[in-house]
Structure 1
Amino acid sequence: MTARDAAADAAGTLLVSARELRGAVSQALRKRLPERNDAEVLSTAEKLVADVEYQVCQGASVDAFADALALHHAMETCEDASLAGLLTESLRILTDAYRLFGLDGVFTSFNGGKDAVVIMQLSRAVFAKACVQAGRIERARMIFFELQDEFEEVEDFVRDSHKTCDLELRRYSTGFVAGLTSCIEEEEGRLLAFVLGTRRGDPNCGKQGTFEPSSDWMPPFMRVNPVLDWEYGDIWRFIRLFQIPYVNLYDKGYTSLGKKSDTQPNPALKKPGTADEYLPADMLSDWSLERAGRIKKAPKPIIEPEQCDAT
C-alpha cells in the first residue's frame, strides 16, 4: 500500500458511479470539442468510462479529472497536421512513464513557463487515462522549485493552476538539487521519474533522449522528455489549439522566462514606433530568437542536464 492509499483509507473511501463520471466527462467533452453533437459526446463518454465504480482518492475533483480525460481524448484524436504526430509520440512517452513507474512514481516539473504548461497538461491527461483504467480518480503529481526572484505573475499562475487543474503540487524553496533530493527521500527512496519540458536546442541539454537516467552525482531517477522534438511554434500551436491557460507575461512580449533580474520582453517583438509596447509571444517569427529577452551574465559553470526545463 502506498502512502497515498494509506491516507485515502484513513480519510474514508468515496466511490463514484460510472454514470456520474460519464456525466462529468460528457460536460468536459462538450467544452473541449464543441463541434461534436450530443450523440457523439455520449458515445465517447461511454467508451472512456467503464461500467464500474471509481475510487476517489483524497478528495480529488471529479470535474477536474473529467476535464483531463476529455483533454486526453481531444489530443488523441487531434487531426492538426502540425501537431498530430508530435502528440501521438508525446502521449506514448508519458503512457510508458506511468506504466513503468506507476501512478505514484511520476512527478512533472511545473514552473509556470510555456513548456511547463504543455507538459503539465499532457501529464494530467495521460495520468487521468491511466487512472480511469485502474478504477481510480486521483490528482496528478507536480513539483515546483521556487525562485527567490520569481515573477509575481508566475507565482499567481502556478497557484491558480494548482487549484483549477486540481494538482498535487510539491513545492521546494531549497533549490533544484536539494529539492529533488528531498522529494526522492520523502518517497522513501523508490525509483521515480521526473517529466521535464526539455526541447532540443535548449541550453545545456546535450544529447538527451526521451528517457534519460540522472547523472551519477545525483540521486538515481529517470528524466522523461515528452516534448523533446517540439519547436517553439509547436508549443504555441498546442496552447492556442487546445485553449490552454498560460501566464500573461507572454502577452507582453516575453518569450522565455527566468528570474525577474535576467528576463525582459523580447526585443524582436517590439512594436515599431513605440517605446515599450510588444507583440505577444506567439507572434515571434524567428524561433531562434526565443531567448533573446534573456539578459546575458558572466559565464558560470556548466549546469547539469537535470536542470534543463526551458520556459
Structure 2
Amino acid sequence: MTTLDDKIRNSEAQLSNLLERAGAESVRVAWTGGKDSTVVLFIWKMLLDHAGLGNGRVINLDTGCKFPEVLAFRDRLTGEWGLELFVARPAVALEGYPLARDTLACCLELKVKPLQAAIAATGTTHLLTGIRRDEHPDRADRQAQEKRLTPPHVLVNPILDWTETDIWAFHARFDLPHCELYDRGYRSLGCRPCTARPEKGGPERSGRDRNKEQMLRSLTSLGYF
C-alpha cells in the first residue's frame, strides 16, 4: 500500500525534476483556491524557497461568478505567501450572459478561453494542476505530464494518485490554510451557479452541476485541465 509519505516524495520528485529541467520562470500553478491546488502550490513553493527562486507564480481563473469566499482566500494567501498572481478573466461581458444555460459553451467562454489566453500572455510552458484521478471517472486515465497545443504547453499533474483523505492529511500535517467553504460542508469548489454542498455520503463532486460533470472529458479536450 502506498502511504502518504510515499506520495509526497513522488510529487516532490516530479516537481524537483521539472525545476531542474524547466527552471521556475515559465512554470505556473493553476491555483483555483481549492484544497488540491493549494497542496501543489505549497510543495512547489517549498522547492522554490529551498532553491532561492522566490515564492512562485500562479494563474487564477476568475470567471466572474466565483464564490466571494474563494476570491477572498485567494487574495489573502497571495499576500501572505508573496505569490506572483495572474488573474485570468473572460473576454465576454457577464451582464445578461446566460450562465450555465449551455454548460459546454459557458465553460468554453468563461474558463477555457481565458485560461488559454493567460498561458499565452504569461509565457507559461508548464502548468501545474491539482487534479486527482479518484475525483472523477473521466480523470482515471490522466497522465503525470500532458502536452497541449493551444497554446503549446505541458500540463503537469503531480498529485494524480492522491485521495481526498491524503489532501486533508497533508493540510493537517503542514497546517495549510483553506477556504472557509470547506468548513461549511463543501468538498469541491467551482462557480456559484454550478456548485452546491454535496449529497450526504455521496461522491466528492456530487455537489457539482451534473451536466458539467458529464462533459468533463469534452472540456479537457477543449483545453481545460
TM-score range, shorter chain: 0.7 to 0.9
Q: Would you say 1:156 and 2:98 are equivalent positions?
A: no
In 2, the alpha carbon distance for the partners of 1:178 and 1:303 equals 11
Equivalent residue, structure 1, for 2:106: none
- Which fold has the larger relative contact order, with Cα–Cα distance below 8 Å and residues 6 or more apart in sequence? 2
Instruction: Say if 1:110 and 1:116, in contact at 8 Å, map to a contact too.
Output: yes
- Aligned match of 1:220: 152
Q: Provide TM-score, normalisation by structure 1.
A: 0.60
Deviations 1:1-25 (A, max 9, x none): xxxxxxxxxxxxxxxxxxxxxxxxx
Any stretches of 5+ residues in structure 2 without a counterpart?
91-109
Determine helix, strand or coil for the equivalent of 1:303: helix
- Note the 1:39-54 alignment, pairs <5 A: none
Say if 1:98 and 1:105, in contact at 8 Å, map to a contact too: no
CA contact under 8 A between 1:108 and 1:196: conserved in structure 2? yes
Asked if the contact 1:194–1:224 (Cα under 8 Å) also holds between the matched residues in 2, the reply is yes
Deviation at 1:91, TM superposition (A): 0.4
The answer on whether the counterparts of 1:263 and 1:294 sit within 8 Å (CA) in structure 2 is yes
Taking the aligned partners of 2:23 and 2:155, their CA distance within structure 1 comes to 15
- What is the 5 A alignment of 1:1-311? 82-130=3-51, 132=52, 137-174=53-90, 175-187=110-122, 192-203=125-136, 204-205=138-139, 207-214=141-148, 216=149, 218-268=150-200, 289-297=203-211, 300=215, 302-304=218-220, 306-308=223-225
The DSSP-based 3-state class of the residue aligned with 2:166 is helix
Q: C-alpha distance in 2, partners of 1:265/1:178? A: 27
SS of the residue 1:221 aligns to: strand
Residue 48 of structure 1 corresponds to none
CA contact (8 A) 2:120 2:151 kept: no
| TM-score under structure 2 length normalisation | 0.81
> C-alpha offsets along residues 51-74 of structure 1, whole Å, 9 cap, x if unaligned?
xxxxxxxxxxxxxxxxxxxxxxxx
RMSD: 2.2
The equivalent residue for 2:100 is none
Size of the alignment, in residue pairs?
Answer: 201
Check conservation: 1:112, 1:247, Cα contact below 8 A: yes
Gaps of 5+ in 1: 1-80, 269-285
Q: Percent of aligned pairs with the same residue?
A: 27
Pairwise CA distance, 1:300: 4.7
- Cα distance in structure 2, aligned partners of 1:184 and 1:148: 19
- For the pair shown, which has the larger CA radius of gyration, 1 or 2? 1
Partners of 1:265 and 1:300 lie apart in 2 by 20
Shift of 1:206: 5.2
